[in-house]
Amino acid sequence: MKTFTKVLATALTAAIGFSLVGCAANSSEEDHIYRTLDEIQESGVINIGVFSDKYPFGYVDENGSYQGYDVYYANRIAEDLGVEVNFVSTEAASRIEYLETGRVDVVLANFTVTAEREEVVDFANPYMNVALGIVSREDNVITSLDNWNPDDSIIVISGTTAETYLIENYPDIPLQKFDSYATAKEAFENGTSAAWANDNTEVIAFAIENEGYVVGIPSLGSQDTIAAAVTSGNESLLNWLNDELVTLGTEDFFHADYEATLIDVYGADYEDELVVEGGVI
């Protein structure tokens, strides 16, 4: 009897173990935190992360509606998918987190493609060119970061390429970090720092819109690209976005986007320099 009980227990243990292994295997193969293209279309809604305070790329207007270059693109994505768009306000530092937790399906928040970010999210092909820039006051124009006054600081947005670049290349320059563009602009206007480092598109816009400021360094570091990002492994959505870029390129969609949302800020001179059509640089 003891022998029979022991054999039965062993068999049950083995069966349970096999069952758990099978469940784990199925879980790793079938469970994912993102929504596939089919799941998005079946739901009728796509969740897209955009900025709500970064004019003219992603912002909320006086009527409470999302506007801007990235928003214009997001609306077209939803239209061509045949779904409604749900805009999710995001800050620079939370873009990756929102993808990794499934809070958004796509991030369209001036997301610069970097090797470090490519390790944790999947980028579609680019739709815009960008570099870093430095804006400062006209009574103290910063044209070089060499021989920096250690008593001065530079404003950056947490989680941006400007923060990463300055930490890696100018570790002795004090940084004043903010989570949102609105608070960074307010601090800069209040004179808390000597300069503000950000995408050159952002600092050029700031200098154009605000008297007394000059972009003394319009291009810092390497030329980069802006692209939509999806959760790592979401191949169906990524492939659709890349195919969509090709289609949109045939109608010069992003030139139309620029002329609808950016030309009043940057003028026509920057259009061909900034816009990428068809996903090809």
165-204 tens-digit pLDDT: 999 999 999 999 999 989 999 999 999 999 999 999 889 8
Find the DSSP H helices in the chain.
2-30, 37-43, 69-81, 95-100, 115-118, 161-169, 181-189, 200-209, 235-249, 253-261, 263-266, 271-274
What is the DSSP pairing of strand 154-157 with strand 195-199? parallel
Contact between 245 and 60 (Cβ < 8 Å): no
Is the model's pLDDT at 223 over the cut of 80? yes
Amino acid 27: pLDDT = 30
Band of residue 5 on the pLDDT scale cut at 50, 70, 90? very low
Boundaries of every domain in the chain: 33-129+225-274, 131-223
Is the model's pLDDT at 52 over the cut of 80? yes
Mean pLDDT for 222-231 is: 95
Residue 129, strand partner residues? 225
Amino acid letter, 87:
F
Residue 251, classed as helix, strand or coil, is coil
Contact between 126 and 234 (Cβ < 8 Å): no
pLDDT digits (tens, 9 = 90+) for 96-134: 999 999 999 999 999 999 999 999 999 999 999 999 999
The strand ranges marked E within 108-169 are 121-137, 154-157
Band of residue 237 on the pLDDT scale cut at 50, 70, 90? very high
- Whether 33-129+225-274 and 131-223 share one fold: the answer is yes
Distances, alpha carbon 82 to alpha carbons 30, 40, 42, 43, 210, in Å: 26, 10, 10, 11, 40
131-223 has which fold?
D-Maltodextrin-Binding Protein; domain 2 (3.40.190)
Amino acid 227: pLDDT = 98
Q: Domain 33-129+225-274 classified CATH 3.40.630.30?
A: no
- Dihedral Cα 116, 94, 219, 186, nearest 10 deg: -160
Task: Count other Cβ atoms within 10 Å, centred on residue 37.
Answer: 19
